Amino acid sequence: MKRIGDILVELNILTNEQMDAAFAGKPRGVMIGDWLVRQSLISNAQLGAALSEQFSVPFVDIDFSSVNPQVARLLPEDFARSQASVAIDVSDRMLTLAMVAPDDIETIAEAELMTGYKIRPVVALEDDVRDLLNRIYDDRAFARQTIVDMKFAEMAESGEVTEEDELAMSAVSQEDAPVVKLVQAILSGAVSAGASDIHLEPHKPEMRVRYRVDGELQVVMTIPNHIEDSVISRIKVMGDMDTTENRRPQDGHLTVYENGKRVGFRISGIPTVDGQKLVLRLLDEGGQTFDLAGIGMPQRDYETIRRVIDKPHGMFVVTGPTGSGKSTTLYAALQHLNDDDRNIVTVEDPVEYRLPGINQVQSDNEFGMGFANALKYIMRQDPDVIMLGEIRDCETATTAVQAALTGHLVISTLHTNDAVGAVQRLADLGVDNFKIAGSLLGSVAQRLLRCVCENCKVDAPANLNLLDALDPEQFVPRDTTFVRGAGCKRCLGTGFAGRVPIFEIMPLNSDITAAIEAGVPNSQLEEMAHAAGMVPLRRAGLEAAIAGKTSLEEVYFKTSGDRRSTNSTSMVGGRRSVDQPVPSAIA
C-alpha cells in the first residue's frame, strides 16, 4: 500500500520538501494526514482524495444531518467505537460503512455477520467518524444521565431528606452538604434504573460512575477528583466502614427506602492505584420473592428441575458465569423445598437474601467457617437439604459429594460454561468418577438474555448469518420473523428492558451415569445428553427469540461465548481505535 505522503506528492498537492518538513515536526502518535490538515498544508477534501487513492475505495465527507440514527445503531456502540466505523446508509441490502481503515477485512466480516447486510466500505476522516458516533449515542448517554438529574430535581422541589441525611448534613461543612445529595441521587438513580450494581471507579482526571442494567454496564456520570474522597467517605460512613482505611479491602452494608421499598446495598471496596474503588450490589430486602415456577423458565424445564430436586438425596448443581442468575435459581429451589418437615441449612458468601424458615450461615474463613469447614459442622446438625453458595476447591467438592452419598440433598453452583462441564469440573477438583456418578442427580447451565423492550418492539427479518451459526441443523425456518427494539425513552434507547433466563438441563439416566463412572470425554457425554432430551443453550435461546422475548443478536452474543466483536479495542488497519468518551460530570 502506498504511503499517504507519497500519494499527496504524486497528486501535486505537496512537494517532497514540504513532506519532509511535516514528518520532522509531527508529534509521535499523530497520523501524518491529520497533522497536515492541522498545519493547514492540505484540506480535508485533499486528504480524503489521498485516502481514497490509498485504499482504493470512495471517500465520504460525512453529512451528519443525512445519517439516520437507526441505521448507525445497526452496529453495537462498543464495536463501532473500537473499530472506528459507522454505518451511514442502507440501500438494496447493501450497508455503507464509513471506516477509518477500510482495508480491515475482519471488521467488515463481523459487521456483515451482525447486520445481515453486504458491506460497502468507504473511507472517512477519523474526526468525522468519532463526531458522528458521539452525536448518535449522546442522546442515549443523556437519557441515562437524566435518571440522576430527575432525582436531584425531585429532592430540590420537595425538600425531602431522610432522618439519616439530616444527621449527616449537620455533621458536615456547608461545602460537603452537596455530597450527601449526590450520593443519595446515585443510590436512588440506581433503584429507579433497575440496576443490579453501582461501580464507582477512580480514574484521572475524574471518577467514573456506572450502573449495571440488564447485565450491561452503562456510564451515568463522572465525578471531579476534588470531591471523589468526600463521596467515598460518605458511602463508607453509611455502610459502617472504616473511613481511615484505604489500603485494605473492606465490606459494608447500607439500607435506603425508595418509594416505600426497602433496598439494601452490599458494599465492596478495594484499593487501586488511583484511589478507592467501590462496587455496591443492590438487594431488594422488601419485595423479593423466589418461586421456582415464576423465575421465567419454560414448563418443560420447570418439570425437569422439580423432578430432580424432589429426590431425597444426591447433588444438584447450577453452572454459568458470574451474573447469570445462579443464586436466584438456588433460592427458588430452596423455597420449593422449604417445608416444616425438612431441615434446610445454607452456607453462603455473603448471605444476600434472608429466607424465612431456612437456616442461613455466613461463610467466614477468618473464624474457621469456610465452605468446607462449615459443611462439616452442618453435617452434625441433622440436615435434610444443604445449599452451598459455591464449590470452589477440592476439600469443599469432596465433602459435598460425601454428604450427597450419605443421604443428604446438596445443591450448589459451579463455574463452568455448560451443564455437561459440571462433570469435568468436579473431576478437576479431585472427585473420583465413581463418586460423581453415584452422587450427581443433574446439572443446569443458564444465561440471562436481555428482553426486547415491549414499548418499541418491531418485527425484524432473520439475520441468516447468525441463524446459520446458531442453528446449523436448520430446525428453525429461515423465513421466521424475529423482533428487535427500535429504541425509546422507556428503555433509554437500548431497545432492551428486563431479562429472561434460558436453561440447559442435564438430568442423569443409567447410561449417562455409567459413562461418567467410566470417565468418557465431555464430547461423548454431551452427545448422550442430547440424545436423552437435553436442550442446548443455543436452542433454548432461539426458542425465546421465536417467542418474541429477545432478539436473535442477543442470543448469539450470550450463547456463542464470542464477545470480541462487541468490546474489542484493538488496532485496526494500523490506526488506533477510537476511545469511548465519558459523559460530562454533574456535581
Q: Identify which of 392, 376, 395, 334 has the alpha carbon closest to the alpha carbon of residue 359.
A: 334
Average pLDDT value for the chain: 81
Bigger pLDDT: 245 or 428?
428
Write the pLDDT tens digit of every residue in 215-262.
Answer: 888 888 888 877 888 889 999 999 988 888 888 899 898 988 776 678
In this structure, are 48 and 126 located in the same domain? yes
Q: What CATH number should be reported for the domain holding residue 375?
A: 3.40.50.300
Mean pLDDT of 481-509: 85
CA distance 426 to 415: 10
Phi-psi region of 441 (alpha: psi -120 to 50; beta: other; left: phi over 0): alpha
At 78, is the secondary structure helix, strand, or coil? helix
What's the mean pLDDT in 401-427? 92
Are 44 and 95 part of one and the same domain?
Answer: yes
Q: What SS3 state is found at 549?
A: coil
Q: At 496, is the secondary structure helix, strand, or coil?
A: strand
In the chain, the percentage of residues whose pLDDT exceeds 70 is 86
pLDDT in the model for residue 420: 93
Is 516 inside any structural domain? yes
More confident residue, 261 or 541: 541
**Among 491, 519, 534, residue at a domain's last position:** 534
Residue among 80, 95, 213 nearest 134 (CA): 80
Output the pLDDT for position 144: 45
**pLDDT at site 348:** 85
d(CA 539, CA 503): 10
* Domain edge (last residue) among 282, 317, 336: 282
pLDDT of residue 318: 94
Half-sphere exposure of 481 (CA within 13 A, CB side): 4
Domain assignment present for 41: yes
Q: Do 310 and 404 share a domain, yes or no?
A: yes
Which residue, 230, 256, 282, sits at the end of a domain? 282
d(CA 220, CA 493): 14
* Rounded-to-integer distance, Cα 240 and Cα 455, Å: 41
Q: Is residue 240 part of a domain?
A: yes
Mean pLDDT is lowest, of 25-39, 56-70, 242-256, 331-345, for 25-39
Asked whether residue 211 is domain-assigned, the answer is yes
Residues 310 and 252 in one domain: no
- Residue 164's pLDDT band (cuts 50, 70, 90): low
Tell me, what's the pLDDT at 67? Answer: 81
CATH of the domain at 195: 3.30.450.90
Confidence check: pLDDT of 139 > 50: no
Helix (H, G, I), strand (E, B) or coil at 212: strand
Query: Which whole number is the average pLDDT over 51-63?
Result: 86
Of 250, 229, 232, residue with least CA distance to 183:
232
Please check whether residues 60 and 206 belong to one and the same domain: no
Going by the DSSP 8-state scheme, the letter that residue 463 receives in this structure is -
Amino acid 289: pLDDT:
65
Residues 6+ apart with CB under 8 A from 129: 62, 84, 85, 86, 98, 99, 100, 578
Across 568-574, average pLDDT: 31
Per the model's pLDDT, the better-predicted residue between 116 and 552 turns out to be 552
Q: Is 110 part of any domain?
A: yes
Most confident of 457-466, 541-550, 574-583: 541-550
> Would you say residue 411 lies in a domain?
yes
Enclosing domain of residue 242:
177-282
- CATH number of domain containing 16: 3.30.300.160
Q: How many CB atoms lie within 10 A of CB 9?
A: 17
Together in a domain, 258 and 382: no
Position 572 pLDDT exceeds 60: no
Number of domains in the chain: 3
Same domain for 74 and 37, yes or no, is yes
pLDDT of residue 259: 65
Alpha carbon distances (Å) from 488 to 4, 168, 188, 495, 550: 43, 38, 22, 7, 16
96 three-state secondary structure: strand
582 pLDDT exceeds 70?
A: no
* Burial of 57 per CB tally in 10 Å (0-12, 13-18, 19+): middle
- Distance, CA of 101 to CA of 576 (rounded, Å): 10
Across the range 470-494, mean pLDDT stands at: 83
Q: Are residues 246 and 351 in the same domain?
A: no
Q: Are residues 266 and 318 in the same domain?
A: no
Q: For residues 303 and 224, state if they share a domain.
A: no
Q: Is residue 187 assigned to a domain?
A: yes
Q: How far apart are CA 157 and CA 320, in angstroms?
A: 45
Residue 584 has pLDDT above 60, yes or no: no
Residue 158 has pLDDT above 60, yes or no: no
Sign of CA dihedral 554, 558, 561, 567: positive
Among 188-192, 232-236, 313-317, 477-481, the minimum mean pLDDT is found in 188-192
Asked whether residue 478 is assigned to any structural domain, the reply reads: no
Largest CA distance in the chain: 92
C-alpha cell read off for 397: 467438592
pLDDT of 421: 92
pLDDT at 143 over 50: no
* Residue 287 binned pLDDT confidence (cut-offs 50, 70, 90): low
Could you give the CA distance from residue 138 to residue 252 in angstroms, rounded to a whole number? 35
pLDDT at 464: 87
pLDDT in tens, 94-134: 899 999 888 888 899 888 888 878 899 999 888 888 888 88
Burial class of 387 by CB neighbour count within 10 A (0 to 12, 13 to 18, 19+) = buried
Q: Which residue has the cell 504524486?
A: 10
* pLDDT attached to residue 586: 30
* Lowest-confidence segment of 56-65, 78-87, 232-241, 504-513 by average pLDDT: 56-65
Is pLDDT at 213 greater than 50 in this prediction?
A: yes
Give me the pLDDT at residue 117, please. 85
Highest mean pLDDT among 32-46, 140-154, 283-297, 540-554: 540-554
| pLDDT band (50, 70, 90) for residue 172 | very low
- Would the pLDDT of 147 be above 80? no
**Residue 519 zone, left/alpha/beta (φ > 0; ψ -120 to 50; rest):** left
| Same-domain status, 218 and 131 | no
Whether the pLDDT of residue 288 is over 70: the answer is: no
Location of C-alpha cell 429466607: 355
Band of pLDDT at residue 502, cut at 50, 70 and 90 = very high
- In this predicted structure, the answer to whether residue 58 has a pLDDT above a threshold of 80 is yes
Stated pTM of the model: 0.62
- Which of 131, 134, 73, 83 has its CA nearest to residue 109? 83
pLDDT over 50 at 400, yes or no = yes
CB-based contact 545:452 (threshold 8 Å): no
Region 470-474: what's the mean pLDDT?
85
Q: How confident is the model at residue 518 (pLDDT cuts 50, 70, 90)?
A: very high
Alpha helices in 83-198 (DSSP H): 105-115, 126-158, 163-170, 177-193
pLDDT of residue 446 exceeding 90: yes
Q: Do 109 and 184 share a domain, yes or no?
A: no
